[in-house]
Structure 1
Amino acid sequence: MIEAKALSKTYGNTLVVDSVDLTLPAGGITAIVGPNGAGKSTFLSMISRLMPMTAGTVTIAGMDVTRTPGDKLARHISILRQDNQVLSRLSVRDLIAFGRYPYSKGHLTKEDGKHIEEALRWLDLEPLADRFIDELSGGQRQRAFIAMVLCQNTDYILLDEPLNNLDMRHAVGMMKMLRNAADSLNKTIILVLHDINFASAYADRIVAMKDGKLAHVGTAAEIICPEVLAAIYGVDTTVHELDGKRIVNYF
């Protein structure tokens, strides 16, 4: 379980996340949605301890993220940021191997190798395993970073805009892979998404933020409706069902 209490973040006099109280159960996929500037990425960064909080507390599986030693925390939660950069020339396989650092401390074992190969297969990266990261397309690079996170083999996976740079086919494949990881590997996945239709189709629960505050929390059936979407985004929509999923049209 992830529990945030009175979680806030300010930059100077600007309040970016405003006293958010949120409890998320273990298991499944939670999508965090909302307009630009809603505080989604900041909220996720504070949960993962990538960014210090101004006020409040966060616990993950009972661990206070500000007090738990980093190496212990890294065996329970993994995080992918939006702005990932590789400063040295690494192959895809080498990048993915960084996911094993909390366990191997840089001295890879056979067990680590097994996880690396599994991550390559999960993200369909085996043909690119020996290519350098700077030789890849944006979408291929994004898949490699997500493979690194998956290779870390944590119970909790936090992803900030994991569909960045992915074309439609790979975006659908990514969401199917994450759905499979949540269901078959018992992962708890929290991700920031801009595409409300992907949130509707694949998430068990949706957290909607606006102006740094928690606006709505619920299932797709509760969130994906014209009245709620108008309150969050300020636009008119129509919603229809296809194969049991709610699909949004904007106009």
Structure 2
Amino acid sequence: MALTTLIIDDEPLARQELHYLLDALGGVEVLAEGTNGIDAVELIRHHKPDVVFLDVQMPGLDGFAVLKKLLDKKIPLPQIVFATAYDRYAVRAFEVNAADYLLKPFDRKRVRQTIEKASARMAAPAESTSEAKLDALLRLVEEQAQPAKANSGKVVVRAQSRLLLVDQHEICFASIEDGAIHVITATVEGQSNCRTLEELTEQLNPETFWRAHRSYVVNLQHIREVVPWFNSSYQLRMDDRKQTEIPVSRSQTKRLRELFNL
């Protein structure tokens, strides 16, 4: 009987490469592919696969947050194999009881070893699934998911497969779209590993950054112009390269007037 798997990765080429290698092994059936952590939770719930190849860094929910969501929803955990371009995640992967981890670009021999390891774990006597054990695992995942401290002064931005450390004062604004957190500076446009704007905001200086809209956090120092809009509303024209115009929600209009004595 074939080992059933899912591939969850936001990079199409990575999904294609891993799918090809698994097909070449034989005895492995790829049931479906997903592009983000939200997909992962739903596909795992629906397909109940034996093994899930899960990218660590994805928009919306990262790989570790997917585990937390599965536990929160009491969805049975399959064998998890984390896929990442960065080997520093290996220790974290094993701390949350993953079957294995794979480094990108994938290696045929290493993929075979991973499948053999996952199969052996499945054939071994079932370990205790007591509430205490699940609680311990959940605590580990929550610890891994904690955001960086605000006093670091730096924010990690992923841009073109690079992880850049950006000074907070350089950030013009951040926004959320389709579950992904986008960070914009004068020279860089990329994505944050944070799952929500709230999580990102916790890393930022509250005296400088303002949640002008449910989908936007702006740096007050990078507002070029306050633009009156219809029905007594406003937009903010930022000083990024595109001079992006950001709406101010009605609930934040009073705060805007206080900030700039309008």
TM-score using structure 2 length: 0.28
* Higher relative contact order (CA closer than 8 Å, sequence separation 6+): 1
Larger Rg: 2
TM-score using structure 1 length: 0.29
